[in-house]
Amino acid sequence: MRQSILAEGFELPDPAAADLEGVVFRREQGGLFGRSRSYVALGEFSGPYGLLLALIERDELDVCRVPLAPFADEFLRFFAEIPDDRLETLSAFVSVAAQLIVLKSRALLPRPIIHEGLDAHDLDDVDETVDLRARLIRYRIFRDAARLLGDRLQSPLWQREQPTRLLPQPKPVFSEPLTPVISDPKRLVRAAGRIALRRRPLADLALAPVGLKVSIGDRLSAIREAVRQSGLSGVDLESLLGDRKDRSFIAVTFLALLELAKRREVEVVQASLWGPIIITESVPEGAHA
């Protein structure tokens, strides 16, 4: 039985022919009887009919006559490696693979003896072979037409180009063409003076007080200096603020104080709630010793 299947073309010949268009062949050692076997992978996806046709045509077999069952193994081998994992694609391959498996399984069994009067439709394998073969032939017709059509892509038709819509010409600034004026520099100076006199006077600007800028850097220096001069007794924050009561000055001074405390340059002590905030110079570590 096995031999007969092989004789029907199950053992596909080693393809010496070049790869088919859109299909990549690759070879593997260790096929049946240790022969070199060739497998097909679609370089460019074109569906299960495309794959089956590629397998058949690779061996220069006639799709109208060649038994399809022997291609089941080859087809399944590709199916196992199909790169597309979309359900729709896989199901399309499963459908064809299932038909091939049925055909192959029936080919392994003894053929039934056809009695006279037996309805031909009882021979399911015959029907399925015919159906699949018809689909392959129909697909081949369109595939070949597609190839012919594809060649025509190199000879397109061109319509007339759309005329470029030009922007309207800008209105000329001078109604008459400009001509160079021959003149002496003194006239130019006088002309410039007249133009200057025609200049519109600047609008009177309202006078408004401008707040003094206060930077953290300035306040850092001021605090350092005050602390240094105050010695061990330290300096009160109130005295650092002086008469300035604007919020930005107070906020910047306080930020500067925090920065100095963070750097451990000063020590800040408030002995009691709402009591004076005294700032003293930090004692370096080890100085107590």
Partner 1 sequence: MSTEKRTGVVLPERSHPATAADLEALLFVVDRPLTRKEVAKLLEVDRTSVDRLVSELQAHLADRGITLLIHGDELQLTSGAAQARAVLAWIGTGGSDMTAAPLETLTVIAYRQPVTKAGIEEIRGVDADYALRVLLERGLVEEVDRLETAGRPHRYATTMEFLRKFGLSSLSDLPPLEGDAASILSLQLSDAAQPPTDLRADEGPATPAGEGALAD
Only segment of 5-13, 131-139, 187-195, 203-211 that touches partner 1 (CB under 8 A): 131-139
Q: Exposure pattern of 250-287 as b/e (b: 16+ CB <10 Å)? A: eebbeebbebbeeeeebeeeeeeeeeebbbbbeeeeee
Distance between CA atoms of 88 and 93, rounded to whole angstroms? 9
Closest separation between CB of residue 133 and partner 1, Å?
A: 6
- Nearer to partner 1 by Cβ, of 146 and 191: the residue is 146
Distance separating alpha carbons of residues 208 and 229, to the nearest angstrom: 37
Instruction: Give me the phi and psi of 41, to 5 degrees please.
Output: -130, 135
Looking at 17, 24, 32, 130, which residue binds partner 1 (CB under 8 A)? 130
CA triple 136-139-142, angle to 5 deg: 150
Q: Which single residue is written with the structure tokens 């200096």?
A: 225
Among 4, 36, 60, 150, binds partner 1 (CB under 8 A): 150
Is residue 14 a contact partner of residue 36, using CB atoms and an 8 Å limit?
Answer: yes
State the binding string over 63-82 for partner 1 (x if CB under 8 A, else -). Answer: -x------------------
| Residues 79 to 98 in contact with partner 1, rule: CB under 8 A | 86, 88-89, 92, 95-96
> Which CB sits closer to partner 1, 10 or 49?
49
Task: Give the total of residues touching partner 1 (CB under 8 A).
Answer: 46
Least distance from partner 1 to the Cβ atom of residue 52, Å:
9
Give the type of residue at 76: L
DSSP code of residue 15:
-
> Can you read off the two tokens belonging to residue 138?
């129909």
Is 6 near partner 1 (CB under 8 A)?
no
Interface pick for partner 1 out of 29, 110, 116, 159 (rule CB under 8 A):
159
Residues forming the site for partner 1 (CB under 8 A): 22, 44-50, 64, 86, 88-89, 92, 95-96, 127, 130-131, 133-135, 137-146, 148-150, 152-163
